[in-house]
Amino acid sequence: MSYIARDDRPADKAERYAEVEDEILAVLEGEPNLTARMATVASMLSDAFPAFFWTGFYVVDQAKGNELMVGPYQGTLGCLRIPFTRGVCGAAARTGETQIVEDVDAFPGHIACDSRSASEIVVPVRDGSGALIAVLDVDATEKAVFDAVDAQALERLMARVFAT
């Protein structure tokens, strides 16, 4: 399948997610490699949503077990490692629950990799056996960019891309 970046996407957020989800799944068909899958998701999500300032994965360091290390992403320099005990990413990894933060300055322990990040969503990523393998972290420079629509769409996308 050929993929051309475009700016005529639906204005409705849920519709835009549905469209890009179909495109991501089409591009990834037959590609088993996890790094290739994560890099493609980060690229295509980032391209589809101009408000996404940092879009990417923190992968569970299997050697340490309770630490995340940076994976494929689009955006400015991210922290390399995040312990499960720290930040929004750590909270998502520790609890297994999606975290929506409307104002990162109000989140205790938020890690400011780039001070331009103002709000974020972090979604746990599981493999087919249900084991946590990573978190998807999306940051925006505006406050309160993410809501339940983003949570539902991104959780569904992570399930369809990584838990099959």
Q: Which chain residues interact with ligand SME by CB under 6 A?
A: 54, 78-79, 82, 87-89, 110-111, 113, 117, 120, 137, 139
Contact 53/117 with Cβ under 8 angstroms?
yes
First to last CA, the chain: 21
In the complex, what is the shortest distance from the CB of residue 80 to ligand SME, in angstroms, rounded to a whole number? 10
In the complex, what is the shortest distance from the CB of residue 66 to ligand SME, in angstroms, rounded to a whole number? 14
In the complex, what is the shortest distance from the CB of residue 97 to ligand SME, in angstroms, rounded to a whole number? 14
In the complex, what is the shortest distance from the CB of residue 38 to ligand SME, in angstroms, rounded to a whole number? 14
- Cβ closer to ligand SME: 37 or 86? 86
Tokens of 132: 């946590």
CB-nearest residue to ligand SME? 87
CA dihedral 146, 5, 24, 149 (to 10 degrees): 20
The whole-angstrom separation of Cα 93 and Cα 60 is 8
The whole-angstrom separation of Cα 162 and Cα 135 is 11
- Cβ closer to ligand SME: 21 or 120? 120
